[in-house]
Structures are given as C-alpha cells and as structure tokens.
C-alpha cells in the first residue's frame, strides 16, 4: 500500500522547514509554527485535541498549542514528521485512513499562502485516496447547506449532498474538491455551475467539520 498520508506529512514538514516558522498559512492568524503545533497537539495530546471540535475545552487546547508552538522549531517539525508510537496514526493503515486529506490540505495551506504558488500535478493514486475519504465526508459537511450540491470529480466519481432545493455542481479533481469542502473555497481550482445564488452562497459558506 502506498502511504500517501506519510508522503504528504513529510512534504509538509519539508516545506515548513524551507519557509521557516513565521511564514503565513491559509489558516487565518496562523503561521507555519502555529500550524505545526496544531498537528502535533492533535496527535500527541488527546486531552487537548478534543478542543479542536468541542468549544467547552477550546481554551485548554489553545493553551497547550501555544506551549507546543513555543518550543524550538526544528524539534517541533521532528514531532510532526514522527507521530508517537502509542498513537493510532503510527499505524500506516490508520494514518492513511485518517490523515491523507488532513495532511494534503495542510500542505496546501502552506504552499498556497505563499506568493506565486501554483497547483501541483498529483499522482492518480493520491487523487483516488483523497476521493475515497472525501466521498464519505461530503454528506456530513454539506448536510445543512440549503441546496442540493453535487461534487463532480470526473473519472473518480460524484457524490450529492446538501438539504435539497436549488442545485449546484462543483467540478474539480479530488484534491481541489478537498480544499473547497474544508473552507478553502477562494483557493480551490474548481468550477461552480447551476443556481447562481446558491453557488455564490456556497463559495462563501463556512465549510468543514
């Protein structure tokens, strides 16, 4: 099995090392140091990782993330490269299932925040891996959006979500659709067709889990 998640993880760490700790990212208000700390906390501090999705403990998460970000940047990147042995994601199968989209999106968060960025030509195997995960996530992410949304990934397939009504089709490859569906609409190279009002609303909606 090709470990696309690990390849994206290592590429992300290499990009961060090249740019340094203070480079911007697409995550509002976060530098490369902050983003690296976010991933490290997510994988190494289960007590704090809950705050990423649960607001009542978000303050604890911020505090732990700030502590992680304060450490030496090369040491922080080394933790990013190597999840702890006790973590489920140290298992390549689970890492691929849980992290391939996460690592790809964060890699692009760093790349596309820099001047003069350009899209990568992705390996078809990576595109297929991204689509497998995205196809399962799409209905959950779009469940409350007040329209019918079709994600069309061409040869990889299509999936429909949303709560019904006006119809919008978002076309692109799985990598670009992954960015679009995680709130990076302004940077995703996709095409929107269908109801114009619904398309405009979708392009600015708060998407992601």
Judge residue 118's burial from the number of C-beta atoms within 10 Å of its C-beta, 0-12 exposed, 13-18 middle, 19 or more buried: exposed
Report domain 125-204's class: alpha beta
Digit-coded pLDDT (tens) for 116-154: 999 999 999 999 999 999 999 999 999 999 999 999 999
Q: What is the mean pLDDT of the chain?
A: 90
* Per-residue pLDDT at 48 exceeds 60: no
User: Model confidence at 10, in pLDDT bands (50, 70, 90)?
Assistant: very high
More confident residue, 91 or 146: 146
| H or E element at residue 171 | strand 167-171
**Domain spans in the chain, listed from the N-terminal domain onward:** 4-111, 125-204
**Predicted pLDDT of residue 50:** 55
**Predicted pLDDT of residue 52:** 58
* CB-CB neighbours of 59 under 10 Å: 10
Lowest-confidence segment of 47-51, 63-67, 73-77, 199-203 by average pLDDT: 47-51
Rounded Cα–Cα distance for residues 107 and 18 (Å):
13
Rounded Cα–Cα distance for residues 86 and 33 (Å):
24
Residue the block writes with tokens 């329209």: 147
Q: What is the pTM of this model?
A: 0.91
HSE-CB for 116 with a 13 A CA cutoff: 0
Mean pLDDT of 146-174: 97
């Amino acid at each position: 099995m090709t470990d696309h998640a690990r390849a994206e993880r290592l590429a992300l760490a290499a990009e961060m090392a090249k740019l340094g700790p203070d480079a911007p990212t697409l995550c509002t208000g976060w530098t490369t140091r902050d983003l690296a700390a976010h991933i490290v906390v997510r994988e190494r501090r289960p007590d704090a990782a809950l705050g990423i999705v649960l607001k009542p403990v978000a303050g604890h998460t911020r505090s732990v993330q700030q502590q992680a970000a304060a450490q030496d940047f090369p040491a922080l990147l080394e933790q990013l490269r190597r999840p702890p042995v006790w973590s489920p994601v140290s298992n390549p199968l689970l890492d691929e299932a849980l992290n391939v989209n996460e690592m790809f999106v964060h890699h692009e968060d760093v790349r596309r925040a820099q001047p003069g960025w350009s899209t990568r030509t992705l390996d078809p195997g990576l595109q297929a891996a991204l689509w497998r995960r995205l196809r399962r996530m799409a209905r959950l992410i779009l469940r409350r959006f007040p329209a019918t949304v079709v994600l069309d990934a061409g040869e990889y397939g299509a999936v429909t979500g949303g709560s019904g009504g006006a119809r919008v089709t978002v076309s692109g490859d799985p990598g670009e659709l992954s960015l679009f569906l995680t709130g990076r609409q302004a940077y995703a190279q996709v095409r929107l067709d269908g109801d114009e009002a619904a398309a405009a609303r979708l392009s600015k909606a708060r998407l992601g889990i």
